[in-house]
């Protein structure tokens, strides 16, 4: 390469970046994202519903299974659309794929936790789940609001930022709940083998819900990335 010559790859990337301003962006991703975010809210609402209708646990578990399958279908559609989208560079496609999978993981986590609840012999919703469920619901609602802001980043950027800040605050609250209940479950003495097994199962459920809240924070982080880039 001659001294002072610009690498071809750098030139190509520069050209592609400039072309993005002229190539039409597919608007269907907004609809798919909003659909997926809506399903996350539905999943969290079903978890909250268990607090008042715990006798409906088998039915709600089945509803969540169906919702999780629908969400997987939406994610698959997003991935397929990315294959045929020539208006974005690889990095942008990676951001979208990462976002979709993390949002899907929120739904997966709630469904997984409820499946574990069906293994217990409890007659009411365990207290740790009661504490996690409203936090997950609010976080999913904030995600849905933030996703709707993506359609107009110029006018809704501040609203999206506020949603992400609130999700991070909720994740900190979930951390405190997680630490509290892990301490209780792991230090309270018991001699009943059945109680011990139930406690270990509840510990797993708490960890699943904490991980699900971490997924919400990951979604907020990628939403912030979209905001910094000016959209998707």
Confidence of residue 17 (pLDDT cuts 50, 70, 90): very low
Check residue 86 and give its pLDDT: 67
Model pTM?
A: 0.84
If you ran DSSP here, which 8-state letter would residue 3 be given? T
Check residue 3 and give its pLDDT: 56
User: Can you list the domains of the chain with their CATH numbers?
Assistant: 26-229 (1.20.58.220)
Q: Contact, 17 vs 92, CB < 8 A?
A: no
Number of other CB atoms surrounding residue 43 within 10 Å: 25
161-197 burial code (b ≥16 CB/10 A, e <16): bebbebbbebbebbeebbeebeeebeeeeeeeeeeee
Check residue 81 and give its pLDDT: 85
pLDDT tens digits, 21-59: 333 345 678 899 999 999 999 999 999 999 999 999 999
């Amino acid at each position: 390469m001659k001294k002072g010559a610009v690498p071809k790859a750098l030139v190509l990337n520069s050209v592609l970046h400039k072309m993005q301003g002229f190539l039409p962006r597919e608007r269907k991703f907004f609809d798919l994202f909003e659909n997926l975010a809506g399903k996350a809210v539905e999943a969290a609402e079903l978890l909250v519903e268990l607090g008042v209708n715990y006798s409906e646990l088998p039915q709600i578990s089945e509803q969540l299974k169906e919702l999780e399958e629908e969400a997987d279908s939406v994610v698959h559609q997003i991935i397929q659309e990315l294959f045929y989208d020539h208006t974005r560079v690889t990095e942008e496609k990676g951001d979208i794929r990462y976002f979709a999978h993390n949002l899907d993981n929120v739904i997966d986590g709630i469904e997984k936790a409820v499946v574990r609840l069906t293994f217990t012999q409890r007659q009411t919703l365990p207290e740790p789940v009661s504490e996690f469920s409203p936090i997950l619901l609010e976080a999913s609602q904030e995600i849905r609001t933030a996703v709707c802001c993506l359609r107009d980043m110029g006018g809704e950027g501040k609203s999206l930022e506020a949603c992400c800040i609130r999700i991070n605050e909720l994740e900190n609250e979930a951390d405190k709940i997680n630490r509290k209940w892990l301490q209780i479950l792991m230090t309270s003495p018991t001699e009943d083998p059945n109680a011990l097994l139930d406690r270990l199962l509840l510990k797993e459920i708490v960890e699943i819900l904490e991980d699900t809240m971490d997924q919400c924070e990951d979604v907020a982080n990628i939403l912030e990335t979209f905001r910094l880039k000016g959209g998707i």
